[in-house]
Homo-oligomer: A and B are copies of this chain.
Amino acid sequence: MTQPDMPTPPWERPPKRRTPARVPLTRERIVDAAYTVLDREGYDRLSMRQVAAELGVAVSALYVHVRDKDELLQLMYTRMFEGYEIPEPDPEHWREQVKDFARQARERLLSRRDLTKLAMGHVPFTPELLPYVERLMAVLGASGMPRRVLAISGDMLSTYVNGFALEESLWQQRYRETHSSWHKLRDEINDYFASLPPDRFPNLVALADIMIDESNDYRFELGLEIILRGLASYIGEPDPGEEGKESEEA
């Protein structure tokens, strides 16, 4: 509303504080700081005190805006999804669309430190995240697979991607702590498997060269293709839901 280049008339009191001495604390700023701490310190050292220190604020101030550490982690989890791109469903290309989604998810999980640990144990069923689930189900549904297969396909895919990325980041963490390069660690594991007594471990010895030695990208793609083939095998079949429908109590 104010013309930026015009000088303020002397009779008009300037706003009490153009740059308030204390920028007000918000959930957004807290999550920002939490991510800064996560990048620098890692998930295990991400504490309320570190986040407060990052903001130059007392610990208890955080609890005005956030109920729990759990709620803060939930907010961080939610932010992980921002800007996710899931395309319009296209029945002709659902397989590539699903693969692109999975690749995007893996890339994101590995793009910052310890995001896999953050993602684990959370479920994208909050109101803010349901749109993403809806989009994925739309893409998967375009394939024409039966209802009951469709209902668990999303879960299977995200479990696979999360589990794969978690394992990747665990190895990364381990080599950062003990080895100079991923190559070195990989070769050592390789040698370890190859040096096992072949009479007791014939299969592991025979597979030693590709158990870990294979490119992670390639392994990821192959696993993805395996799941997609399994899903696709149900297209055209009747819904596999009529037998075995006993309910359980857990």
Q: Does A112 contact B (CB under 8 A)?
A: no
Alpha-carbon distance between A186 and B133 when the two chains are bound, in angstroms: 19
Q: Report yes or no: A218 in contact with B233, Cβ–Cβ below 8 A.
A: no
- Say how many copies of this protein the assembly contains: 2
> Are A221 and B244 also in contact (CB < 8 A) when A149-B226, A228-B230, A231-B226 are?
yes
Q: Report yes or no: A250 in contact with B148, Cβ–Cβ below 8 A.
A: no
Q: Report yes or no: A156 in contact with B229, Cβ–Cβ below 8 A.
A: no
Interface residues of A in 115-141 (CB under 8 A from B): 120-121, 123, 125, 130-131, 133-134, 137-138, 141
Give A138's nearest chain B residue, CB to CB: B203
The contact string, 1 if C-beta is below 8 Å from chain B, for chain A 140-176, is: 0100000111111101100110111011101010000
Q: Does A246 contact B (CB under 8 A)?
A: yes
Complex partner residue of A210 from B151, B210, B234, CB under 8 angstroms:
B151
Alpha-carbon distance between A189 and B123 when the two chains are bound, in angstroms: 13
Alpha-carbon distance between A160 and B219 when the two chains are bound, in angstroms: 15
Alpha-carbon distance between A162 and B121 when the two chains are bound, in angstroms: 12
Complex partner residue of A131 from B170, B200, B245, B249, CB under 8 angstroms:
B200
Complex partner residue of A227 from B147, B211, B226, B249, CB under 8 angstroms:
B226
CB distance from A153 to the nearest CB of B (A): 8
CB distance from A167 to the nearest CB of B (A): 7
Alpha-carbon distance between A170 and B123 when the two chains are bound, in angstroms: 10
Residues in B neighbouring A233, C-beta threshold 8 A: 226, 229-230, 233
Q: Report yes or no: B210 in contact with A241, Cβ–Cβ below 8 A.
A: yes
